[in-house]
Amino acid sequence: MESIIVALAAGVVALVFAGITAMRVLSAEPGNALMQSIGDAIRTGAGAFLRREYMSLLPFVVVVTVVLGVLDYTVFKHEMAVPATAISYLVGAICSGTAGFIGMNVAVRANVRTAAAAMRGLNPALRVAFSSGTVMGVTVVGIGLLGVTVLYLIFQEISVVAGFGFGASSIALFARVGGGIFTKAADVGSDLVGKVEAGIPEDDPRNPGVIADNVGDNVGDVAGMGADLFESYVSSIISAVALSASAVALAGAAGSEFTDSQSVFPMLLAGAGIVAAILGTFVVRSGEQANFDKLLWSLRYGIFAAGGLLIIFAAILTITLTDNWWWFGCVVAGLVAGTIIGLATEYFTSYSYKPTQQVSAASETGAATVIIQGIASGMLSTLIPVVCVSVAILLAYYFAGFYGVALAGVGLLSTLGITLATDAYGPVADNAGGIAEQANLDPEVRERTDALDALGNTTAATGKGFAIGSAALTALALLAAYSVSAELIKIGEDGKLVDANLGINLLQPEILVGLVIGAMLPFIFSALTMQAVGRAAQGIVEEVRRQFREIPGLMEGTGTPDSARCVDISTRGALREMIVPGLMAVVAPIATGFILGAGALGGLLIGSVASGFMLAIMMASAGGTWDNAKKYVELGNYGGKGSEAHKAAVEGDVVGDPFKDTSGPSLNILLKLMAVVSLVFAPVFLEVSPLINLA
């Protein structure tokens, strides 16, 4: 009991620190009246989208809560006076939405303050933007750890707390998909008409789609990414505690009790990670004349400092809580795997390295070769992350069985407070550059914001690689927890398989069918989200063309664009298009469990992780490569801005936008959501016979 209170205290510390940091950001100078009016337009659009998105999700949340409430009294048999799983689900949904809301609300106020700080120098601008990202990162881990520990303290049963993960996952998927569709529809639409057709610069105030593009950076890359990693964070803790409870129960112990170190360790590790991340944020700073590499290392120092502190804290936890150093090995394996995946993603997406430079060189022969080279680079980028995750899984299983795999996931995500901060900082810097351009600030200010933006693109790419790697480990840990709950496997006190003959036989026809369907789902999901971006972008393209055609003096700079109209079109398109992909992630595992049985559902989860992991890496890396290949050309290479090579690179970037910011990142949540839905509904599948029974 006392140990969990320590984890609870860490969550409170995180929220207090986030509050203090937010106040420091909001106390910064917001710039002149024109800058503030641009910032107000971005804030209004982002707030309107988030409110409409949450209202659209309300009926879904209510229906699922009612269904889980009924199951609480009929199938789950928790013997509690309240519908515990339904309550946990509702709390998870609210916490996920709250984390995204807080982070985005600070980001849309920090953008104009970052632009104003850039008028004073590079380091002040970095501090404001990074502090904004820190609010998002620390809020996510604080709310996540508080939610899990409080529900565990109240209900004292981890199967109930799995509902919290379900709530977080369902909101995260819709936030990621909806935000991704919005941001890329606006980005693609405004770029195609503004940069390619009209030949005007990026973030030019004459472009009616610019404000929608800036709004999209916040709803997609701040609220969406925050919800994604919030869900990974809580699901990794839940899967670790669930597997420990199963192992203890099978060993004949009293069950999942608070004195059991195996159940408490993941929560305490997450708490230690919060402290390490907060301390790591104080390391991040740069000099006024810092170049790209120095800026990048300023963020890396913070991440590495947090990782080093976590290793020390994990060792202390191991000494005080248990003598099992294998658990410590699992944590280190996950942390090292995450670091290598991030560096590998940076290698394939940064224009400082050969893969992206090769894509830039291909722009001299047209858009087709840019796209071909980018796809090839994305495919090659799967190698290192897959090897890293595979080695981490093998080591963790050797050290502590499936519980070790879950611990590796917790270790990878423990310093999320700072890794998410380096990712969420990017959209703020991007917005600041747009505001500087639209407010006609001194070119030196734009140079500073461009330096921060280039850094943000790199940290965003590495952040996506980190998110995908964490999603793979978390989904595999949830798969193991589901397999135990559905009685497909049994694990001993050491977390390893007890009966090798009991399990998922991939040669059974229904399981083989489930595996093939699971391998297909990420492709169908990606197709739906790509089509959604295409349809929504068409609306923006037509609207921007109409305004250029019909508003007098718009191209000359004397007319005023109707930016609110573009924001509304993107919002309606995103909310309409997010429904089908979101429902598919919930319906597919439930339908498979009822029609083909629990074993086939296990096959589906295996197939989806195998194909979805690869596809997510490929899409995220290819998109990042195209983006930075364009920026490499804009630096003056291969003809620079306005050249034919630049136009080809821009078209490659436009193709890559939905790859890296919509479909690729959304796959992370698809994998985890299907696994957590399966875990929650596992008792139901045990109670009913499948419609198709080949036994």
- The full DSSP string for 486-522 is TTS--B-TTSSBS-TTSS--TTSHHHHHHHHHHHHHH
The pLDDT score that the predictor gives to residue 264 is: 87
Q: Assign 491 to helix, strand or coil.
A: strand
Cβ count within 10 A of residue 382: 19
Tokens of 161: 């707390």
At 252 the pLDDT is: 47
Domain containing residue 516: 2-282+294-687
Please name which of 411, 407, 424 lies closest in space to residue 99, comparing C-alpha atoms: 424
Residue 406 included in any domain: yes
Written as one letter, the residue type at 578 is M
Which tokens in the block code for residue 327?
A: 């658990």
User: Distance between CA atoms of 280 and 251, rounded to whole angstroms?
Assistant: 40
Q: How far is CA 465 from CA 141, 275, 359, 660, 664, in A?
A: 19, 24, 20, 10, 10
The share of the chain scoring above pLDDT 70, in percent, equals 93
Domain count, the chain: 1
Q: Which two tokens stand for residue 559?
A: 């007319």
Structure tokens belonging to residue 613 = 């992991």
Q: Are 138 and 417 in contact (CB under 8 A)?
A: yes
Tens digit of pLDDT for each residue in 547-558? 888 888 777 777
Mean pLDDT lowest for which of 51-65, 383-397, 532-546? 532-546
Q: Judge whether 695 lies within some domain.
A: no
Please compute, for residue 502, the number of CA atoms within 13 A of its CA located in the half-sphere on the CB side. 12
Count the helix, strand and coil residues of the chain and give each as a percent rounded to the nearest 5: 85, 0, 15
Dist. CA 615–CA 273, nearest whole Å? 29
* The one-letter amino acid at 19: G
Q: How confident is the model at residue 247 (pLDDT cuts 50, 70, 90)?
A: low
- Angstrom distances, CA of residue 183 to CA of 189, 534, 688: 10, 12, 43
Tokens encoding 7: 């984890």
The least confident of 48-52, 156-160, 579-583 is 156-160
Q: Which of 238-247, 385-394, 425-434 is modeled with the greatest confidence? A: 385-394
> Does the residue 495 lie in any domain?
yes
SS (H, E, C) 523-536: HHHHHHHHHHHHHH
Residue 510 lies in a domain: yes
Confidence at residue 527, expressed as pLDDT on a 0 to 100 scale = 94
**Overall average pLDDT of the 605-621 stretch:** 94
Eight-state DSSP code of residue 497? B
Cα separations in angstroms, 260 against 152, 184, 238:
13, 47, 15
Is 247 within the bounds of a domain?
Answer: yes
Q: Tell me 496's DSSP state.
A: S
Q: And the tokens for 226? A: 């925050």
Interval 618-629 mean pLDDT:
92
Rounded to whole angstroms, the Cα distance separating 155 from 157 reads: 5
pLDDT of residue 224: 83
Residue 27 pLDDT > 60: yes
- 325-334, 405-414, 454-463, 666-675: which range is least confident on average? 454-463
pLDDT, position 257: 41
**pTM to 2 decimal places:** 0.88
Cα separation, 266 vs 403, in Å, equals 10
- Is 13 within the bounds of a domain? yes
User: pLDDT of 185-225, one tens digit each?
Assistant: 888 788 777 766 767 777 677 888 888 888 888 888 888 88
Is 12's pLDDT higher than 90? yes
Q: Determine which of 298-307, 486-495, 521-530, 592-601 has the lowest per-residue pLDDT on average.
A: 486-495
Tell me: pLDDT of 255 over 70. no
pLDDT for position 100: 87
Do residues 129 and 41 touch, judged by C-beta distance below 8 A? no
Domain membership of residue 611 (yes or no) is: yes
Give the pLDDT confidence of 144-182 residue by residue, as tens digits.
999 999 998 888 888 888 899 999 988 888 888 888 888
What pLDDT is stored for residue 254 in this prediction? 40
CA contacts within 13 A on the Cβ side of 672: 38
Quick one: pLDDT at residue 258?
Answer: 36
Least confident of 180-194, 226-240, 483-497: 483-497
Q: Which two tokens stand for residue 148?
A: 């899990």
Alpha-carbon radius of gyration of the chain: 24
Q: For position 289, what pLDDT does the model report?
A: 67
**% of the chain with per-residue pLDDT over 90:** 36
- pLDDT, position 96: 92
Please report whether residue 264 resides in a domain. yes
Longest Cα pair distance anywhere in the chain, in angstroms?
Answer: 79
User: What average pLDDT is seen over the chain?
Assistant: 86
Per-residue pLDDT, 91: 95
Asked whether residue 251 carries a pLDDT value surpassing 70, the answer given is no
